[in-house]
Amino acid sequence: MGGPEIDRLIGLLARLPGMGPRSARRAALKMLQQPDARMLPLAAALQDAARAVKPCGSCGNLDSRDPCTICADAQRDRAMICVVEGVGDLWALERAAIYRGLYHVLGGTLSALSGVGPEDLNLPPLLARIAEGGVTEVILALPATVDGATTAHWLTDRLRPLGVSVTKVGQGVPIGGALDVLDDGTLAAALRARRAS
Ligand SMILES: [Zn+2]
């Protein structure tokens, strides 16, 4: 259409989640028409974020600080750790502003079908934090899928002998639903209704 730069831009945009070729073309056109106002600030933000943002060594959250802002926040309840599958789930819980403890991002769920085993999960930092002491409750907020349930069982067996109470978020989490798609009220209800795992 207008040279390899435009094709490359559209091709890269189209690979982003939620984008397809059509939205990629629209976004590219909007930016190309206003390079100073839209494109260069975005390019700078992308570069800054790519350089600065890393997984937190303690919980796996993405942040430009390590330990992350949440782990470093003295106001948070350090006796509670909420285990989530991904950073998107952590963001959902933070957006809902219903939870004041710490998190742990597992980075996936066990899956025989996809060949995801315990060694593929971000588990050692969680075990280390529990071993340090002070943690009394681990809340499992994993997806209500077969893999999520398998992972919850496995984690419960792993964590309970360490002397922590292991609970699971309650009803309201739809089957196969990631926390990210839930509205804040449903999330709050699910968190309140947690029970022994
Ligand atoms: Zn952290």
Distance (Å) from CA 65 to ligand 1 centroid? 9
For residue 168, the 8-state DSSP code is E
Distance (Å) from CA 169 to ligand 1 centroid? 21
Distance (Å) from CA 71 to ligand 1 centroid? 4
Taking the model in full, what pTM does it have?
Answer: 0.85
pLDDT at 175: 44
What's the mean per-residue pLDDT of the chain? 91
Over the stretch 22-78, which tens digit does the pLDDT of each residue have? 999 999 999 999 999 999 999 999 999 999 999 999 999 999 999 999 999 999 999
* Closest of 188, 193, 189 to residue 96, by C-alpha: 188
pLDDT at 102: 97
In single-letter form, the type of residue at position 152 comes to A
Over the stretch 34-44, which tens digit does the pLDDT of each residue have? 999 999 999 99
* Rounded-to-integer distance, Cα 191 and Cα 17, Å: 28
H runs (alpha helix) in the chain: 4-14, 21-33, 40-52, 69-72, 87-96, 124-132, 146-159, 184-192
Taken as a whole, the chain contains a residue count of 197
* pLDDT over threshold 90, residue 190: no
Distance (Å) from CA 27 to ligand 1 centroid? 33
pLDDT at 178: 62
Over the stretch 113-142, which tens digit does the pLDDT of each residue have? 999 999 999 999 999 999 999 999 999 999
